[in-house]
Amino acid sequence: METDRAILRAAAELFHARGFSTVRVDDIGTRAGVTGPAIYRHFAGKDEILATLFDEALDGLLAATVTSGPDAQSRLAGMVRAHATFVLAERELTSIWTREDHSLDPDTRRRILRRTEAYLERWTRAIADVLPTCGGAEHRAAAHAALGLLNSFAHWPRESVGVQDLPDYVARFVLAGLAATPAAETPAPPSAAAAA
């Protein structure tokens, strides 16, 4: 199990720094302190390592963002802080999850997409609870916007994430943006001229 973790950590660092397609199994072995061929005793190959990293990212996010609170606003704030905290702690893992889905084999990509959609739906529901006057499309767009901002931490220069209490700062920023989201527009009734 310890060797599995070393392999996954090494792969995450390399995939983050260089991209999945340029990293060889031997590179991962060297970084993890094992021979390239020894990796195959733990994983079927580079594709399985990538799939495992995707699952770890989603497992971590799904576990972290189960929040409770007295009202919808505090529950959503907890989700924002939890997601931000995860991204800051797992920058490499998050960058792989947000950048390397095209490198997954087709079956794994479909499975991961289903899991990602379930995570997006959790956010969409939480935002709907806070913004009941918006429509479903607006809730989903707001979820994409919030997650896009939060996931971008993984790509920021390290010195840019040095803000004290960054998860709380970003939570206030995201929640203020959501509070400013206008309600869905109701189509105007047809004019008398158009109806004639």
The domain limits of the chain are 1-43, 47-179
- The alpha-carbon radius of gyration of the chain (Å, integer) is 21
Give the Cα separation of 89 and 85 in Å (integer): 6
Contacts of 75 (CB under 8 A, 6+ apart): 67, 68, 69, 126, 129
- CATH for 1-43 is 1.10.10.60
* CATH superfamily ID and name for 47-179: Tetracycline Repressor, domain 2 (1.10.357.10)
First to last CA, the chain: 75
What DSSP state is assigned to residue 23? -
Q: Which amino acid is at 8?
A: L
The one-digit pLDDT tens for each residue of the chain (196 residues) are: 688 999 999 999 999 999 999 999 999 999 999 987 889 999 999 999 999 999 999 999 999 999 888 999 899 999 999 999 999 889 999 999 999 999 999 999 999 999 999 999 999 999 999 888 788 898 999 999 999 989 988 887 777 666 678 778 877 888 888 777 666 554 445 555 444 4
For the entire predicted model, the pTM comes to 0.85
